[in-house]
Structure 1
């Protein structure tokens, strides 16, 4: 039994196809098939039911795959040990970021991070929280940046910063003349929200539900981006809530529509996520240090109340 054979098994289990798995592993399909066959012969079991389309794991195959994930992850740790011993901070690093954080946070830290750690080859993807959880647990991401807490047993969360919610209220709105907002001012019926699947949407709903006993979850209008929400609000279709970092680059005219909450300010917790196996911790530590250092100069809010992104 070899680690390579287990790696091939994991690839077939994920792709449910020998040809696609071979392409992912950069080997020929006969080579991959032969190695898996050798493993099955050694164990005297069938890992895959090849009669099914797509290919399925047998019952014992499911147990083998679960254990293979642990073994392959632990094998990666050996290289981690060597890298840390040598003080090496580099290599490929796959990072996922949720859509409501990507456009504001990434430009703030990316250039500084690349300059400080030129040997790290970053691969960054914009992903939903659901996809991030799946990819972290499957080992396809090294780390991610998302709103927390997520309370997932396989994922560790390391807080980066707290980002306040800010009201964006157009001139014709009932709350426009208010200098500051109370959470009790919010009414979900005239709130523009992101489409389902965005954790910031869930945070806004949870914020409103914390102060309303009965809320109808049928909303007037939903959009796929925060920028669109601002434009729709300017058209008089309702107010919206923005993450604080999205307010920094608004025009002077648009900033006149911003209303901050009285303390404790409702905010989302933004964290660096990684698998509990703690692989590539030297890079995770480096990223946490760079982002935390930069963000301290951008967000000065202290007295905040964390609004969970978990759907309730």
Structure 2
């Protein structure tokens, strides 16, 4: 059997369809089917149960797929070792970024990165945390930037920075005249949130739990963007919390409505995450170094309290 044949097996196991797997592998469906059949004949077993729709792995097929993942990863590692030895930083690198980080962080480092590493073909996708975890595990992303900790056994996290939460208050708010506020100054009945599926939303919910407040049935309005939440707050429909980097580009009239929290400031941990197989580690380090170089001057807060994006039971 060959590495290519094992890659075909992994593709069918993931997509549960020979035609779709062939398209993803850039070969014809008969070619892919023939190569998988050769492995099955060589081993004298069936990897896939073709009688079921969608196609399912047999019991022995599942064990073979688990081992095939290790073999393909180790084969890729050999290429990685050679490139590191040569000092080559280039090729395709697939990066996922969550929506509440993408608009602010990406413009800060992208230009520096592509100028410093012109041989890297950076493919960037905006994905929520759940999609990122799935794609990292399936090998469809090399790395991602997300709020952590995620507590995923097969994913490694390198902290990039800690980003404080900042409150955005309408002028009618009771705490508007304060220079700094506490979590207890916020009325949880009036907090405006991002839609479900955003880890920043989960962080706010956990912030309220940390403060001993029950958020159930309190949040009346949810939106898909911070810009909408700001406009709703301006209309007197509530208050909202923003990630610190997002506040840097606000107009002066909007910045006047921002209130920082007293120390320790509630904050989220933002990390570069990647599979523990650590393929393309030289490119991951290049990305980490570039981001660290631009972020250190943007966030100067030291005394922070990390609010996890994970829902606490």
Aligned residue for 1:150, secondary structure, equals coil
Match of 1:174 in 2: 174
CA distance 1:213–1:229, shift in 2 (3 Å) = closer
Paired residues of 2:148 and 2:270 also in contact (CA < 8 A):
yes
Q: Following the alignment from structure 2 to structure 1, what is the Cα–Cα distance between the partners of residues 225 and 70?
A: 38
Q: Following the alignment from structure 1 to structure 2, what is the Cα–Cα distance between the partners of residues 310 and 225?
A: 20
Stretches of 4+ aligned residues off by more than 3 angstroms: none
Q: Following the alignment from structure 2 to structure 1, what is the Cα–Cα distance between the partners of residues 121 and 132?
A: 19
- Once the two structures are TM-superposed, the CA of residue 239 in structure 1 deviates from its matched residue by 0.3
Match of 2:29 in 1: 29
Q: Following the alignment from structure 1 to structure 2, what is the Cα–Cα distance between the partners of residues 291 and 151?
A: 23
Match of 2:122 in 1: 122
- Once the two structures are TM-superposed, the CA of residue 70 in structure 1 deviates from its matched residue by 1.1
Match of 1:92 in 2: 92
- Once the two structures are TM-superposed, the CA of residue 140 in structure 1 deviates from its matched residue by 0.8
- Once the two structures are TM-superposed, the CA of residue 177 in structure 1 deviates from its matched residue by 2.0
Paired residues of 2:47 and 2:60 also in contact (CA < 8 A):
yes
Paired residues of 2:208 and 2:214 also in contact (CA < 8 A):
no
- Once the two structures are TM-superposed, the CA of residue 216 in structure 1 deviates from its matched residue by 2.0
Q: Following the alignment from structure 1 to structure 2, what is the Cα–Cα distance between the partners of residues 245 and 2?
A: 48
Match of 2:253 in 1: 253
Q: Following the alignment from structure 2 to structure 1, what is the Cα–Cα distance between the partners of residues 281 and 178?
A: 47
Match of 2:236 in 1: 236
1:304 aligns with 2:297: no
Q: Following the alignment from structure 1 to structure 2, what is the Cα–Cα distance between the partners of residues 167 and 131?
A: 28
Aligned residue for 1:260, secondary structure, equals strand
Over residues 194-231 of structure 1, what are the superposed CA-to-partner deviations in whole Å (9 max), with x where a residue is unaligned?
11111000101111111125332441110111111111
Which TM-score applies when normalising by structure 1?
A: 0.98
Q: Following the alignment from structure 1 to structure 2, what is the Cα–Cα distance between the partners of residues 182 and 218?
A: 19
Match of 2:276 in 1: 276
Which TM-score applies when normalising by structure 2?
A: 0.98
Residue ranges of structure 1 left out of the alignment (5+ in a row): none
Match of 2:219 in 1: 219
Paired residues of 1:186 and 1:208 also in contact (CA < 8 A):
no
Match of 1:131 in 2: 131
Aligned residue for 1:294, secondary structure, equals helix
Over residues 73-112 of structure 1, what are the superposed CA-to-partner deviations in whole Å (9 max), with x where a residue is unaligned?
1110010011001000000000000000000000000000
Paired residues of 1:169 and 1:239 also in contact (CA < 8 A):
yes
Match of 1:156 in 2: 156
Paired residues of 2:188 and 2:218 also in contact (CA < 8 A):
no
Residue ranges of structure 2 left out of the alignment (5+ in a row): none
Paired residues of 2:13 and 2:57 also in contact (CA < 8 A):
yes
Aligned length: 312
Paired residues of 1:188 and 1:215 also in contact (CA < 8 A):
yes
- Superposed CA RMSD in Å reads 0.9
Paired residues of 1:187 and 1:208 also in contact (CA < 8 A):
no
